[in-house]
Amino acid sequence: MSESATTAVGSDIERALSTLDAGHVQKTYWEQDEFICLERWLPASLVARMVEEVERVRPRIHRNYIPRHKKGGSVSYYALREQAPTILALYRAPAFIAFLSSLTGRALQPCPETDPHSCALYFYTDPGDHIGFHFDTSYYRGARYTVLVGLIERSSSRLVCQLYRKDPRGRPLVELQLATHPGTLVAFNGDKLWHAITPLGENEERVSLTLEYVTEPSMHPAKRFFSNLKDAFAYFGLRAVFRGAAPTR
Ligand SMILES: [Fe+2]
């Protein structure tokens, strides 16, 4: 990983953290059943460097279409690992992971190197691109947490989140419709938040970064195979998933 990217991201994260009332953010996260949205939180300079990397990997977008569920483009961790040092540095930044661990109350860590979804870009570029309602279900032995970062937002698409869908306390369902502007960060427990992205309009574009963290990085081999198949067909393509995970890379 690039040392200069790591240093620059480290100071960007420290600066962003200094603007937060950590106690208030943590309280809100728990009040919202493990969901938080920090509007335009990451520094513009960091977002600009990540957007440069978005443009660099654009030729590697893999488009996919699953009728009635999702349509859009993705770039996997394996491509980002080769061409996106700032994004990788953010994913692995110790101060960032410490913040997320304190927020969730769990010792989080990045996913293993064999997970194409661990850190990935989603491109909504064609009219109708969207993803239907789903949980970010964990196939790992432990819990999985999702962090979304808005990078390009020139669209009428919205991240729709339903809070308290599985709430044991029976709180009434709350639906939020969010624009993920550049620098906006959303974090949630993947097994709890029911969420979707509404269809893109004509001449619009939306690009977001997804970062996945886990409490226990091991996975039963059968679940790994199923997870890879899902990633191959729904996101990154067979070649990217199965060649990218090969130990020679
Ligand atoms: Fe999701």
- pLDDT surpassing 80 at residue 68: yes
Decide which of 124 and 240 is more confident. 124
This prediction has a pTM of: 0.92
Residue type (1 letter), 24: H
- pLDDT surpassing 90 at residue 32: yes
- 41: which 2 tokens? 């939180």
**Burial of residue 179, with CB atoms counted within 10 A of its CB: 0-12 exposed, 13-18 middle, 19 or more buried:** middle
Residue type (1 letter), 240: A
Q: Given this model, what pLDDT does residue 234 score? A: 76
CA 191 to centroid of ligand 1, rounded, Å: 10
What integer is the mean pLDDT of 49-75?
A: 95
CA 136 to centroid of ligand 1, rounded, Å: 5
State the Cα angle at 142 between 246 and 150, rounded to 5°. 75
The DSSP symbol for 127 reads T
As a whole-number percent, the residues of the chain with pLDDT over 70 amount to 97
> Binning pLDDT at 50, 70 and 90, where does residue 247 land?
very low
What integer is the mean pLDDT of 33-53?
A: 98
What integer is the mean pLDDT of 42-66?
A: 96
Mind listing the pLDDT tens digit for each residue in 70-88?
999 999 999 999 999 999 9
CA 247 to centroid of ligand 1, rounded, Å: 27
* Strands (E) located in 182-239: 185-189, 194-197, 205-214
CA 134 to centroid of ligand 1, rounded, Å: 6
CA 147 to centroid of ligand 1, rounded, Å: 10
Mind listing the pLDDT tens digit for each residue in 101-140?
999 999 999 999 989 999 999 999 999 999 999 999 888 8
For the beta carbon of residue 162, count every other beta carbon within 10 angstroms. 16
Taking Cα atoms as reference points, which of 47, 57, 79, 50 lies closest to residue 231?
79
What integer is the mean pLDDT of 41-66?
A: 96
CA 23 to centroid of ligand 1, rounded, Å: 26
CA 15 to centroid of ligand 1, rounded, Å: 28
